[in-house]
Amino acid sequence: MLHFLKVMHLIFFYLFFIRKYNTVNVQVTCTFSEDCVLPCLFEPVGAEIIYWFRQNVLLHTFKQGSGFLDQPDKRYTGRTSLSNDTIPFGNASLHIPKSGPQDRGRYRCLVTSSQETREHSITVKVKAPIESVNMETSWLSGYEEVKCSARDVYPAPRVTLFTEPPVLPDGLQTDTRKTADKQGLYTVESKIRKLEDQANLTYICLVQSFYGSQIWRTSLQEKEMYSVEGKDFIIPCVAPWILDNFTLTWSFTKEHKSSVIYTYDSITHLGFSVWEERIRLVPPSGQRGNGSLQLHNPMRMEHTGIYTCVLSSFQTKHVVHARVNIIPMTAKRLPKSYPQWTTAAIITGLTVTAAVVVIAIVKCKDANSGDPSETICLSEETEKRQT
């Protein structure tokens, strides 16, 4: 070991102080469980010697014409490799198969020749991107709560959960938990107790990746509605964000049986209705995240049930669960909770967008105050809504 250290000191003295020395700095982000390549390119002149290091550990030594000289640290056997075929053509890139969190860190590739020594300093990050965000209600804690979760993510993302319109801080206490599995992938869950006395709240969840490259937006609204049999009425479904390209799905659940009754694509402007003339969009073409549905001449036995609206766009989803009760014409009065929904009310619902922007930015700044790498949070959100 002592002899090896002396040899390494002589190598570095020779590289740094005798030959011309050039440095190239590179950042590489590897995707979890996928092969990753750390670049090390050079102009071949013959008789080059290549050294690959991770931190201060020597991984590989290679000499043109002689092949591999050594892989001193056996801990990395099978974890990293060089291609003997590409080095003569100036490519000494390091291959990492099925990268994971253990592969993070700083790597160096030293290429020495009779003319110069070139160092490639490579900082490696590993990420498992956010693939989906789920938002639902449950009774697991003895009371109804709203839960937002993201699974199999690395590093652990930032989760912000709030309501629109906002409620007092004392009325909205968030419980966020992060757990890692054996592979190092995180599951993040954020929960708040559902406020039963405020039925018109929209619960909003923002999930931002650690490096700030992704922001997923999910919102959930649950409501109960009443209407008179035979009278047209509107079921509102307005996202708290402006959506230019989205898909819309309406489903109907009755007696634990669910079926899709309407679909719409804002890009193709194509819609499909199972109930034919019974339902239509309001407005007819579905404008910028407004997927409200009008039900024509509803019948109590046929159309009482749960209507679910799902508006989906890139990294964005808005869900509405509406429990609709159709009251027979013979009923003398409607329940006090009966909302008088009008088309004007649906349109004015779009005005919540500005309020959501302010709330999200303030909350995100508070949440990110401890980590400067995440302070960018919702700057992209602000730009998108202004356009």
What SS3 string covers 143-205? CCEEEEEEEEEECCCEEEEEEECCCCHHHCCEEEEEEECCCCCEEEEEEEECCCCCCCCEEEE
pTM of the model: 0.76
- Kindly list the distances between the CA atom of residue 252 and the CA atoms of 123, 217, 277, in Å, as whole numbers in the listed order: 51, 24, 16
Q: Tens-of-pLDDT digits for all 387 residues of the chain?
A: 444 444 454 444 444 444 456 788 999 999 999 999 999 999 888 788 999 999 889 998 888 777 666 666 677 777 888 888 888 899 999 999 999 999 999 999 999 988 788 999 999 999 999 999 999 998 877 788 999 999 999 999 999 999 999 887 777 788 999 999 999 999 999 999 888 777 789 999 999 999 999 999 999 999 999 999 999 999 999 999 999 889 999 999 999 999 999 999 999 989 999 998 899 988 766 678 899 999 999 999 999 999 999 999 999 999 999 999 999 877 655 555 554 444 444 444 444 444 443 344 334 444 444 443 333 344 444 344 334
Quote the CA–CA distance of 68 and 87 in Å, as a whole number: 11
Phi, psi dihedrals of residue 360, rounded to the nearest 5° = -60, -40
- Kindly list the distances between the CA atom of residue 105 and the CA atoms of 25, 56, 82, 99, 108, in Å, as whole numbers in the listed order: 13, 11, 18, 12, 10
Phi, psi dihedrals of residue 358, rounded to the nearest 5° = -60, -45
CATH (residue range 2-127):
2.60.40.10
Matching fold, domains 2-127 and 206-362: yes
**259-288 burial, b for 16+ CB within 10 Å, e for fewer?**
eebbbbebeeeebebebeebbbbbeeebbb
Other Cβ atoms closer than 10 A to 378: 22
Nearest to 246 by CA among 199, 313, 196: 313
Nearest to 247 by CA among 273, 229, 225, 270: 270
Domain boundaries, the chain: 2-127, 206-362
CB 233 within 8 A of CB 298: yes
Fold observed for domain 206-362: Immunoglobulin-like (2.60.40)
Nearest to 292 by CA among 281, 301, 303: 281
